[in-house]
C-alpha cells in the first residue's frame, strides 16, 4: 500500500481543525497506513478531527447486526473523531442562509444533500473562531470550488483501489463573490 501526500500536509494540519467526511472514515478501515496517518494528525500534529452526528450515522448504517454495529462504532472511536453536537445545526439555522444560497448558486454542485451542506458549512460557520479549519473528503464532486480551494491531498493506492482524499479550505473572497446581491 502506498500513501502519497502533498509536501504541505504537516504544516496544513498542525493545530488545525479537520472536518471529516463519511468516505474518509470508511477509507481509514481499508488501509492501516491511512489509519495511522490520520491518527498521527491528532497525536503528532495536534489536529482536532471533528464531524457531525449524521456522518457517524452514515457509517453505522452499514451494519446489519449488533456485532457489526459495535465494531464500526469502536473503529470511529479509535480514530478519535469528535462529533459536534446539534449546536452546529442550530448555528446553521441561525447563520447559514448565505452559505445555503452560495451552495445553490455554485456551478460545481447540484442538489447537495443536507449532510454535505452542513459539513461544508462548518468552516464557514466557525471561520472567526478557528484559525485553520479544513474539510477532508474524497467526495470531490460535492465540494464547490467556487467557494473552496483544494489546498492539499492524500492519495492511497493498494493496486486495486486508488483513492484521493482532498483537503479543502473555505475561501472568503470566493464566497463574497458568489453571494453578491443576495
Nearest alpha carbon to residue 28 among 19, 17, 39? 39
What is the grid cell recorded at 128? Answer: 472567526
Cell 471529516, residue? Answer: 20
User: Does 74 interact with another protein (rule: CB under 8 A)?
Assistant: yes
* Strand arrangement, sheet containing 48-51: 2-5, 148-157, 162-170, 133-137, 17-20, 48-51, 82-83
Q: Binding residues for another protein, how many (CB under 8 A)?
A: 53
User: Does 35 interact with another protein (rule: CB under 8 A)?
Assistant: yes
User: Does 45 interact with another protein (rule: CB under 8 A)?
Assistant: no
User: Does 151 interact with another protein (rule: CB under 8 A)?
Assistant: no
2/74 with CB nearer another protein: 74
19 Rama sector, left if φ>0, alpha if ψ -120 to 50, beta otherwise:
beta
129/180 with CB nearer another protein: 129
Interface residues with another protein (CB under 8 A) are 17, 21-24, 26-30, 32, 35-36, 39, 48, 50, 58, 62-64, 68, 71-72, 74-75, 77-80, 82-85, 87, 113, 115-116, 126, 128-131, 137-142, 145, 162-165
Amino acid at each position: 500500500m502506498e500513501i502519497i501526500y502533498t509536501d504541505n500536509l504537516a504544516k496544513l494540519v498542525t493545530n488545525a481543525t479537520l472536518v471529516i467526511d463519511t468516505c474518509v472514515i470508511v477509507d481509514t478501515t481499508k488501509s492501516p497506513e491511512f489509519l495511522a496517518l490520520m491518527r498521527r494528525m491528532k497525536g503528532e500534529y495536534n489536529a482536532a478531527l471533528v464531524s457531525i452526528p449524521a456522518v457517524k450515522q452514515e457509517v453505522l448504517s452499514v451494519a446489519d447486526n449488533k456485532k457489526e454495529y459495535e465494531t464500526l462504532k469502536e473503529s470511529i472511536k479509535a480514530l478519535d473523531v469528535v462529533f459536534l453536537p446539534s449546536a452546529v445545526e442550530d448555528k446553521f439555522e441561525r447563520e447559514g442562509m448565505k452559505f445555503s444560497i452560495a451552495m445553490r448558486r455554485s456551478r460545481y454542485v447540484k442538489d447537495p444533500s443536507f449532510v454535505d451542506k452542513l459539513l461544508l458549512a462548518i468552516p464557514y460557520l466557525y471561520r472567526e473562531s478557528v484559525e485553520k479549519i479544513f474539510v477532508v473528503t474524497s467526495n470531490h464532486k460535492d465540494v464547490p470550488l467556487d467557494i473552496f480551494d483544494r489546498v492539499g491531498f492524500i492519495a492511497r493506492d493498494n493496486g486495486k483501489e486508488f483513492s484521493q482524499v482532498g483537503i479543502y479550505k473555505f475561501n472568503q473572497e470566493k464566497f463574497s463573490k458568489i453571494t453578491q446581491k443576495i
